[in-house]
Copies of this chain bind each other. A is one copy, B any other.
Amino acid sequence: MTLGRLNHVGIATPSIDKTVETYRHLLGAEAIGAPFDLPPQGVRVCFIDAPNAQIELIQPLDETSPIANFLRKNPAGGQHHLCFEVADMAAAIAGLQAKGATLLGDPRIGAHGTPVVFLHPRDMGGVLVELMEMPGEGH
Contacts and interface: CB of A to CB of B under 8 A. Distances in A.
A127 B84 contact: no
Contacts of A80: 79
The count of identical subunits is 2
Range for the number of chain A residues in contact with chain B: 35 or more
Contact of A2 (B1, B4, B28): B28
A25 interface: yes
B9 A84 contact: no
Nearest to A7: B52
Interface of A: 1-6, 9, 11, 13, 18-19, 22-23, 25-31, 48-53, 55, 74-80, 82, 84, 96, 99, 101, 119, 121-127, 129
